[in-house]
Amino acid sequence: DTKQFDKLIRMYSRSKLPEKEVALVIIGRGEKENYLKSIINELKLNDHVHLIGFQDNPYKYFAKAKFLVLTSLFEGLPMVLLESLAAGTPVIAWDCPTGPSEIIEHENNGLLIENQNEDKFIEAMNTFLINDQLYQNCKRHTVDSIKKFDLEQIGREWLQLLNNDQ
């Protein structure tokens, strides 16, 4: 399971988020949905973890979220990170082999966590609750941090590269 939602739910249960009434909302559908529901029941998180299925417009959820977490084993260019940052929402993700490190500037627009280090990931989620100065700094830089992914900007850079090559 590349998304590792089961691991996310378990890490969430060990964090301060449930006691602070910060819900975990998981968007999307998959064949592991019943398995995830059983974990939620086992950990008595029914009031805190919500599986809302596929959403045509996930942007409204990103905009309301305190932060977005990405627990994938690997990613190409994770659009969900760009969408979250575009909505002004900081992100927390593993530093998996490709993807997140291209987007996340650690402690500037989110937190990039040692790959598969669950304790560090839990610590990061707690940090965004406790350290408001760091959280606000990351939130302040979200939108500007993704300008380099703007299609017009990428086009200008390619033109400049091609013109310099002549």
- The pLDDT of 97-107, averaged and rounded, is 93
- How much of the chain, in percent, has pLDDT values that exceed 90? 80
Asked if residue 124 lies in contact with residue 113, where contact means CB atoms within 8 angstroms, the answer is: yes
CA distance 143 to 82: 9
Number of domains into which the chain is organized: 1
Residue 55 is part of which domain span?
5-164
Confidence of residue 156 (pLDDT cuts 50, 70, 90): confident
Look at residue 128 in the predicted model and tell me its pLDDT.
Answer: 98
Q: Read off the pLDDT of residues 10-37 as tens digits, 9 standing for 90 and up.
A: 999 999 999 999 999 999 988 999 999 9
Look at residue 104 in the predicted model and tell me its pLDDT.
Answer: 97
CA distance 119 to 127: 12
Strands 91-94 and 110-113: parallel
pLDDT at 166 over 60: no
Whole-model pTM: value is 0.90
Q: Read off the pLDDT of residues 72-88 as tens digits, 9 standing for 90 and up.
A: 999 888 889 999 999 99
Domain with 21 in it: what CATH number? 3.40.50.2000
Cα–Cα separations (whole angstroms), residue 35 to 6, 51, 67, 85, 87: 8, 12, 25, 30, 30
